[in-house]
Amino acid sequence: MTALLLRGGDVCDVEAGELLAGHDVLVVDGVIEQVGPELSLPEGGEEVDARSRTVMPGLIDCHVHVTAATADLGAQADDSPYYVAAKTSVFLRNMLTRGFTTVRDVGGADFGIARATREGLWPGPKVHFGGKALSPTGGHADVRGPGRQALDNHVCGAGIGRVCDGVAEVLQATRDQLRTGADHVKIMLSGGVASPTDRIDSLQFTDEEISAIVQEAGHAGRYVTGHAYTAAAVNRGLRLGVRCIEHGNLIDDESIDLFLEHQAFLVPTLVTYEYLRAEGAQAGLPEESQRKVGVVLDAGLEALERAWKGGVKLGFGTDLLGDMQRHQSQEFRIRAQVQPSAEVLRAATVNAAQLLGLAGQVGVVAPGAVGDLLVVDGNPLEDVSLLSSPEDTVRTVVQNGLVVLDHTA
């Protein structure tokens, strides 16, 4: 038996939006067993002094690309997968030290990366993966420039997507991802920033192709999440059964109605546009992609506010590429400009857990939940932006009941 007691902290009840003052949290064999005052530590257990600090759930980022070693995804497609794997291990380790104990990769990570983190071969958050993102020819995951004809769809390659056209091909591609144990299937519903040949406002895949993917994922008990910026792309995806929308910077009032009708999630990723503009060129973002950033940057906060006030279920995502992944925690600061801190925190904990199908298992500090916990300075329910500087505020990171980072001394 392993036991860990976090002693005397103010426990953050994210669902209720309140702190439970002076409570202990006992984790036994990786699962929270008790939350309450003056708990006893089993013999041989470890104790962490959390007094004068806050104990909160581990954070969940619902939109990462842990294999995106550079912002030039076209160039990465020709890179060594061993080099990309080495970079991936660094990205994962750094995410964990920032307090992210679970992430959802929506293009690139596979079952091997998920297994490596699950078995402790690589320190990092637990990875929920979708494998390669599906794209039509010339779509957002087709990273070939206009002069390049060869297409490499090998799953062992370092690209983040797979190109497929027609119902037969998309069904085969979907089944192939699900065969590997994918937690979801990611598809491209519109153009994007990092892709070289599509426009932001383009619509991608036919209705028949999207419906086939949604149906096949549903047969396997999985869901489809869709990359989309414009209202036209978002609304079309929701009508066809896509359960989650990534980005959604240009949604409209009809989008809100459709999110509510279908009980779908929205995962905004605002931090990536800020840093694509500031650092994209030096991170390898091609010039044609740099010109696209402004189209979606200014609309992001407005879309977030529209969705939050409309009652849409929001997840927390970042979508940073290459070395810009170090700015992951800045998403808290940006969202706090339009949302109350408690709402931002819910997006990165209880809402994210619900999206991943893990409600009650992660994202909460409660008996029966996995022992993924943080000890932080300050009260994130009142000021979530304190999580934007994890090097200053995150004192302890606990994953599966084991202390993986401790700066409480």
Residues 212-245 have pLDDT tens digits of 999 999 999 999 999 999 999 999 999 999 999 9
Cα separation, 196 vs 139, in Å, equals 9
Task: Give the per-residue pLDDT at 202.
Answer: 86
Task: Give the per-residue pLDDT at 273.
Answer: 85
Residue type, 75: A
Cα separation, 133 vs 155, in Å, equals 11
Cα separation, 74 vs 68, in Å, equals 11
Partners of 55 in beta bridges: 11, 375
pLDDT under 50 in the chain at which residues? Answer: none
Task: Give the per-residue pLDDT at 404.
Answer: 96
| CB distance 243 to 313 below 8 Å | no
Task: Give the per-residue pLDDT at 179.
Answer: 96
Task: Give the per-residue pLDDT at 16.
Answer: 95
| CB distance 265 to 313 below 8 Å | yes
- H or E element: which one contains 402? strand 402-406
Task: Give the per-residue pLDDT at 112.
Answer: 95
Task: Give the per-residue pLDDT at 194.
Answer: 63
Task: Give the per-residue pLDDT at 210.
Answer: 97
Domain with CATH 2.30.40.10 in the chain: 3-58+360-406
Q: Which CATH superfamily is domain 59-328 in?
A: Metal-dependent hydrolases (3.20.20.140)
Task: Give the per-residue pLDDT at 109.
Answer: 94
Span 3-58+360-406 CATH architecture: Roll (2.30)
Question: Which alpha helices (H) appear in 30-80, and where do they start and end?
Answer: 73-76
Q: Is the entire prediction scored with pTM above 0.75?
A: yes
190's tokens: 């519109």
Domain with CATH 3.20.20.140 in the chain: 59-328
